[in-house]
Amino acid sequence: MKKHRLTAIDIGTNSIRCIVVEAGANSGFRVLDDEKATVRLGEGMTATGIISPAAWERARTALLRMRKISDGLGCRDIVAVATSAVRKAANGPDFVAAMRAETGIGIRVIDGEEEAELAALSARHHFDMASTRYGLIDIGGGSIEVVIATGHHIEEIVSLELGAVFLTETFLPRDPISAKDFDKLRKHLRKTIDAAFADCDTPLRSLIGSGGTITSIAGMAMAQHQEPYDTVHGYEVLRSEIVHLLAMLQRKSCKERRTVAGLSPERADIIVAGIAAVDALMRFFGTNRLRINERGIREGLIIRSLSERGLWQSAGKQRDWLSAVKEFARSCHSDEDHGEQVRKLALTILEAMPTEPALDERARQMLEAAALLHDIGYFISYDRHHKHSYHLIRHAELFNFSPREREIVANLARYHRKALPKGRHENFARLAPADQALVGKLGGILRLADGLDRRRNRAVTALSCRRKGDTFTIDLHGSGDLSVEVYGGQAKGDLFAAAFDCELLIQTTTTS
């Protein structure tokens, strides 16, 4: 039976985004196509109040192309929403009618509150925010939608007319940007935000952001740190980095900003206003960390639309990282029993390392994920399966793991067998020195735990671990002959011994 395919289109002030997905068997979806067109629908609207003929034509061309892509992929449904620009434009209703007639796409104009709800749906699909008070911001060309929530409980939704295009046209008309104009912009941002959230109980633990300004911030920060991650999704940026980016970009002309690494040239003219808004929100909420959601409104539209069609059972439910990792492992037909055994043994060994400050709770979660996923490379082939596991994990969308953390998990899987980490290995060389050390320690634990289940039959029922001086001793508990497990642990204890600078002793305690 042919699977259900759906297209979602988000018509914003600056760009139109189109995503085509196929509903999965387990209440999920996979992306088939993701198309973007920078049409600047809101260009000049601050002065004229209407969608200009040029912007209208750019949008029409983009929507015709997206309709053809959708039809070519055999989509049953197209859901399209328009936000700030069409909502505000005097000729917005005419635009909606004309696009339906010319492209066959029915467009629904939504308010700022619904924009925020869709962005929140997407954020919950990627980030574990249970019992955490946080803010969600979606920055478009015309407006910013802000959600204040704890877990899945929304406290407040506010739509602010502080979009990057609107602010640029209103406050930053000159190039290069004058200090006087920039000061007026910042005063307006402070005044507007202070008034909108006068009763808000601050601070917030973190902000999750979506929209072109947000992904641009991440792209530039990654470029400055020379971090070659494949995506900005899940990336984290500190406010201090945003302050430095804003100061650097404000001093440059638009032409100079187009050459900044990590910034799309087509966003160079509006990026300063957008980042200034992000900085003002982080200042007000006392938040030091911005987490990047690359998907945003269009993915929220997909989730809600699939839910309405009975093809998505988890909309509104809290996800957790462990279940998501297990689901990914299952999709690669992994040996679940072996993965669980390695995870159990690895955690026991980790708990015997109380004096290692780097091995915190987040390190524990990365170790668990790697234990469950280390053998998924079998999905491709046995030969070099550790390297296949690395690539599968590196390109996966692991719920609530940042690009850095996903890279670490992938490296842990890479070194569960065969060669030890070396500086000449490209995957290892990409890591920061502190992360290389972490991979050595967590990778050593994983590699050892994998060896202790050499026969993949969970013969070891428990471990007793202790360190005395330079010797780390592991007693294996289980029934029957555990000599193969002792051999496996000794053969794969090399990285552990090197990382923790110890001699490894493995012995057995068997029961009949």
Question: Which has the closest alpha carbon to 171: 159, 187, 160, 158?
Answer: 187
Bridge-partner residues for 5, per DSSP?
22
Residue 66 in tokens: 């997206």
Spacing of C-alpha 299 from chain mean position: 13
Spacing of C-alpha 238 from chain mean position: 15
How does 459-468 read in b/e, with b if 16+ C-beta sit within 10 Å? Answer: bbeebeeeee
For residue 25, the model assigns a pLDDT of 60
Q: Are the beta carbons of 376 and 393 closer than 8 angstroms?
A: yes
Rg (CA), the chain: 26
C-alpha–C-alpha distance, residues 392 and 386, integer Å: 10
**Cα distance between the two ends of the chain:** 53
The three state secondary structure string of 187-198 is: HHHHHHHHHHCC
pLDDT in tens, the chain (512 residues): 467 899 999 999 999 999 999 987 655 788 999 999 999 999 999 899 999 999 999 999 999 999 999 999 999 899 999 999 999 999 999 999 999 999 999 999 999 899 999 999 899 888 988 778 899 999 999 999 999 988 878 889 999 999 999 999 999 999 999 999 999 999 999 999 999 998 877 678 889 999 999 999 999 999 999 998 989 999 999 999 999 999 999 999 999 999 999 999 999 999 999 999 999 999 999 999 999 999 889 999 999 998 888 887 665 556 789 999 999 999 899 999 999 999 999 999 999 987 888 899 999 999 999 999 999 999 999 899 999 999 999 998 889 999 999 999 999 999 999 999 999 999 999 999 999 999 999 999 999 999 999 999 999 999 999 999 999 999 999 988 999 999 999 999 999 999 999 999 999 975 55
C-alpha–C-alpha distance, residues 269 and 267, integer Å: 6
CA distances for 68 relative to 187, 295, 301, angstroms: 45, 22, 20
Residues 328, 330, 334, CA angle at the centre, nearest 5°?
110
Length of the chain: 512
For residue 151, the model assigns a pLDDT of 81
Q: Catalogue all structural domains in the chain, each as residue range(s) with its CATH number.
A: 5-110+299-308 (3.30.420.40), 128-292 (3.30.420.150), 321-511 (1.10.3210.10)
Cis peptide before 228 (omega within 30 of 0): no
Q: Are the beta carbons of 270 and 165 closer than 8 angstroms?
A: yes
For residue 152, the model assigns a pLDDT of 78
Q: Cα torsion at 349, 352, 355, 356 (round to 10°)? A: 10
Question: Which has the closest alpha carbon to 138: 368, 359, 300, 320?
Answer: 300
C-alpha–C-alpha distance, residues 144 and 327, integer Å: 34
For residue 1, the model assigns a pLDDT of 42
Q: Are the beta carbons of 496 and 504 closer than 8 angstroms?
A: yes
How does 1-10 read in b/e, with b if 16+ C-beta sit within 10 Å? Answer: eeebbbbbbb
Q: Is 288 exposed, middle or buried (0-12, 13-18, 19+ CB in 10 A)?
A: middle
pTM for the model stands at 0.86
